[in-house]
Amino acid sequence: MMENLFAFDRRQLALDQGAVLLEGFALSLDRVLLDAVGRIAEAAPFRHLETPGGRRMSVAMTNTGRLGWVSDRRGYRYDEIDPISGRPWPTMPKAFAEMARNAAAAAGFDGFAPEACLINRYEPGTKLSLHQDHDERNLDQPIVSVSLGVDATFLWGGQTRGDRPQRITVQNGDVVVWGGPARLTFHGVDTLADSDHPLTVALRYNLTFRTAA
């Protein structure tokens, strides 16, 4: 009975063709994922990257996996080396890759093999402006995006920057997957409100899995 109740509570909400919110998909792994984020950040600390235009990003970032997403005056790109440590990014934990693969499959994208996981850390007052994920060479593969910690408002836009975005609440354990016709949809995160979560206190983390090369 309980299982049915939970299944009923966890919606799969289509945002567009090729894009779905899988409510609670990663909820049973929240502690495992957050513990791993803590270990990753010991080896590759969260940092505020500089945009090519010279602005400091308010969201703090790090990476796990063979490739990591970085930004500096030279542009946005994927790199095998963490520019702070001069070493490869921490290895992607098996639980990360497996969960991302399962989420992609649940959204209709079989055979997803993430090689990059960008980890974003949002404090109250920080946001991520509308953007497209287009630094990946392989646009056939979807994006898998996992929310952990405090709730946020995910902005789901259209194919042009000017399209007014849908505002979607994403909670701890929610996963959004987008690919196919939705792969280059503009998206972002509205300013994080003051909040309190048992696992992360005031913070929100987001894991974004990509096939980059």
User: Where along the sequence are the contacts to Fe ion (CB under 5 A)?
Assistant: 133
Q: Judged by CB under 6 A, which of 44, 99, 119, 128 binds ligand SIN?
A: 128
Contact between 141 and ligand SIN by CB under 6 A: the answer reads no
Q: At which residue do the structure tokens 């080896």 appear?
A: 43
The answer to the question of residue 154 lying near ligand SIN (CB under 6 A) is yes
Q: Does 183 bind ligand SIN (CB under 6 A)?
A: no
Residues 66 to 125 in contact with ligand SIN, rule: CB under 6 A: 118, 120
Cβ proximity to ligand SIN: between 109 and 186 the closer is 186
Q: Provide, rounded to whole angstroms, the least separation between the CB of residue 186 and Fe ion.
A: 9
Residue 184, φ and ψ in degrees, nearest 5: -105, 25
Cβ-closest residue to ligand SIN? 206
Query: Residue 112 binds which entry of ligand SIN, Fe ion, none, with Cβ cut-offs from 5 to 8 Å by kind?
Result: none
CB of 132 to Fe ion, least distance (A): 7
Residues in touch with ligand SIN (CB under 6 A): 118, 120, 128, 145, 154, 187, 189, 206, 208
